[in-house]
A and B are shown apart, each in its own frame.
Chain A
Amino acid sequence: MFSAILWSQWKATRALVLVVTVLVFAAPLFSLQVAYTAFSPVQFVSSMQSFGALYSIMAAVAGLLVALSAWRLDHAGHHVYALALPLSRARYAAYRFTAGLVFLLPIAVGLLIGCLLVAISGLIPDGLHAYPIALTLRFTLAALVAYAVFFAISAATNKTAGMIIGVIASLFFAQYLLNVFAGNTYDILEPTVNFIFVRPGILSVFAGRWMLVDA
């Protein structure tokens, strides 16, 4: 059963996986091309650091796209076909989830190869080191987290997805009202963002330094 689901998902996802894999493969090489023109190791590191956010965003986007494509076929058919298959809902969702995980692998491998090419290029200034495996592991972990979050949201009903969006919108609206009526005294957004993105927040893997080359 899993192989059938894996196959169907592969057919629906492969073009997307290919594009994302090429992009993540190219990102470290592009960052090296830009940083190579630096005059000093400090500038080199600084230039490489400016690409840190790009890896974080690419991990989130990879997770998002693979998660959406995992359910795309079933959403298109209003889940009727999937629900009529003779297996439990939990098992079906687990198969879909696992199949999606498999498709994150080529993306991670693409990044690893790009990073390894940078590491062995001989273009990194003396005294600096490349960390291709650490960056790839971090990227993979972040992509997994994004995938799990978006998979769950995508699997939920429109009502649930609407509630999540509603909660986020309510936070912004509440902050707006506080600014209007309490004059910037209270900030509820920053603690919320910190709660989520600062360690040990569930999305903290996306924050911090994403360095391919460092001292």
Chain B
Amino acid sequence: MSHAIETRNLRCRVAKSFEISDLSMHVPHRAVYGFLGPNGSGKTTTIRLLLGLMKPTGGSVVVLGMPMPERHAEVLARTGYVPERLHLYPSLTVGEAIRFHRQFYSTWDQAWANELMKQMQLEGDRRVGVLSKGESGKLMMLLALSQRPDLLVLDEPTDGLDPVVRRDILAALVEYVTDREATVLISSHLVHELERICDWVGLMDKGRLVAEMPMLEFKTGLKRLRVASAPDSLSGAPFTLLVRDRGNGSVEQWLVRGWAPAMQTYLESVGASLREVIDLDLEEGFVEMLRASRQRTG
């Protein structure tokens, strides 16, 4: 499988107490990749490293087949980026900001920009500096989409927005992806939001990529099991045991990945008895994965 974004052992020390460490992530072409993680987990730093806005201290980054940051200008010409916060020039009006931005992109689609302006109800003569958070988010999205990019990198694009604006932005994104088959990397800590639109998911915590898998696998393969009479150690298990909560009684709670109903026979073969299989929604899965990761790393 070819990847729109690929990093290998990426490292970057941002502060004394925080670093991106040995990050190896793979965003497949034409995927909508949800980049999940709690606040401060390193999502924004990783995105800045991917786009060449920061220099890594080690490892490699390849975006759209080109090494970064060496070929950042070529990569950025094909990438629409919506940063975490609005960084446009506040003295420009919305119309001027659009005219400014389009000068840098040969693929700019003015007709679509006009259409998006109407859809998003943005007024061309309003100053960027006085836009609300929602309007700023819409404007950034408009700029990113009107470039007709092959890759969209969205850093918490809907954070702090009201549900109506959030829906508008995601609708524009879905429409674009359907139309263009572009690759999207979208970071968020709003798990439910990504559940509907992503087909891949990567989970960041404390500067590390804790997990990376297709969304379907994340949603269906992650289960909480209630198991009785389980042996102390498991060998040759066909699933990955992420968390084992022995509790006080004889029934333990397990968090497992890669579960399938047929694996019940394995539990019986080791003398354990499966009492219950509990489906986890994405948010529960996200929390449990983080918990498992933190338990492993102490």
Alpha-carbon distance A129/B85, docked complex (angstroms): 59
Interface size classification for chain B: 20 to 34
B135 CB → nearest A CB, Å: 17
Which of A1, A3, A8, A88 makes the CB contact (< 8 A) with B92? Answer: A8
Say whether B81 contacts A84, CB under 8 Å: yes
Alpha-carbon distance A78/B84, docked complex (angstroms): 12
Say whether A80 contacts B53, CB under 8 Å: yes
Interface size classification for chain A: 10 to 19
Given A76-B90, A77-B88, A81-B88: A87 in contact with B100 (beta carbons within 8 A): no
Q: Which of A52-86 contact B (CB under 8 A)?
A: 73, 76-78, 80-81, 83-86
Dominant secondary structure at the B interface? loop
Say whether A7 contacts B100, CB under 8 Å: yes
Residues of A within 8 A of B53 (CB): 80, 83-84
Which of B51, B73, B81, B99 makes the CB contact (< 8 A) with A87? Answer: B73
Asked if B105 is an interface residue, CB under 8 A from chain A, the answer is: yes
Alpha-carbon distance A7/B74, docked complex (angstroms): 24
Closest to A78 in B: B87
Asked if A11 is an interface residue, CB under 8 A from chain B, the answer is: yes
Say whether A3 contacts B103, CB under 8 Å: yes
Asked if B210 is an interface residue, CB under 8 A from chain A, the answer is: no
Say whether B103 contacts A84, CB under 8 Å: no
Given A80-B53, A87-B73: A12 in contact with B91 (beta carbons within 8 A): yes
Say whether A85 contacts B87, CB under 8 Å: no
A164 CB → nearest B CB, Å: 23
Which of A8, A11, A73, A83 has most chain B Cβ within 10 Å? A83
Asked if B89 is an interface residue, CB under 8 A from chain A, the answer is: yes
Say whether B104 contacts A77, CB under 8 Å: no
CB-defined A-B contacts under 8 Å, sample of 22: A1-B104, A4-B100, A4-B104, A8-B100, A11-B92, A11-B96, A12-B89, A73-B89, A73-B90, A73-B91, A76-B89, A77-B88, A80-B87, A81-B87, A81-B88, A83-B52, A84-B51, A84-B76, A84-B81, A86-B76, A86-B79, A87-B73
* B interface, CB within 8 angstroms of A: 51-53, 73-77, 79, 81, 83, 85, 87-92, 96, 99-100, 103-105
